[in-house]
Amino acid sequence: MQKLDLVLFPNQGLREVCATVTEMTDELDRLIDDMFYTMYDAPGIGLAAPQIAVQQRVIVVDVSEGKNQPLALINPEIVRSAGQITWEEGCLSLPDIYAKVERPSEIIVRGMNRDGKKVEMEANDLLAICIQHEIDHLNGRLFVDHLSPLKRTRLLHKFKKLQAEKTGS
Ligand code: K1U
Ligand code: ZN
């Protein structure tokens, strides 16, 4: 397994709609292993393929305390959503900035697991938030896009300032 480089904002790849996966291959299975390795190492509770420069509809998630409930979904789709929850979200592609985002609190998500089997499951609270955040990535959407234009501009300005400080530019 290997740790993959994370793609950071404002990379254009984070703004693209990812391609549907047409077949489960050994290469895709290895990519999923590498995605989990990269997510746990970050550390994060989710990761979407475009964050490691792969423009395909693949996400991995683990919101458990023990980091022992890995979930990989291929071509995930939300088929039903209800309720409302606000959570302070972060993003591995926008390190060190956080904002409260409102989303549905309960979802039914459909997709394929890494064995190539169709799956449909219900998710609530943090798991639902995380799956929605990752599916947004597959559609070129970032958590800051859920904020008002003023909040988004302020946060992205802060992000650019922090990055400039880090890189000394
Ligand atoms: O997709 C990503 O950028 C990963 C992101 C997922 C996410 C976080 C918060 C709400 C929704 C989705 C992260 O994992 S950021 C890191 C983070 O939240 C975290 C890291 C370690 C422990 C607990 C949380
Ligand atoms: Zn993210």
- In order of start, what are the domains of the chain with their CATH numbers? 12-167 (3.90.45.10)
| Residue having the nearest C-alpha atom to atom 22 of ligand 1 | 44
Cis omega before residue 149 (within 30°)?
A: no
Alpha-carbon gap, residue 132 to 109, rounded angstroms: 9
> DSSP assignment, residue 17?
P
Q: pLDDT of 98-147, one tens digit each?
A: 999 999 999 999 999 999 999 999 999 999 999 999 999 999 999 999 99
Alpha-carbon gap, residue 97 to 162, rounded angstroms: 9
Q: What is the pTM of this model?
A: 0.98
> DSSP assignment, residue 57?
S
pLDDT for 71: 98
Q: pLDDT of 32-54, one tens digit each?
A: 999 999 999 999 999 999 999 99
Residue to substitute in 35, 133, 143, 147 for testing ligand 1 pocket (most ligand atoms within 8 angstroms of CB): 133
Q: pLDDT of 19-36, one tens digit each?
A: 999 999 999 999 999 999
- Ligand nearest to the backbone CA of 89: 1
Diameter over CA atoms, the chain: 48
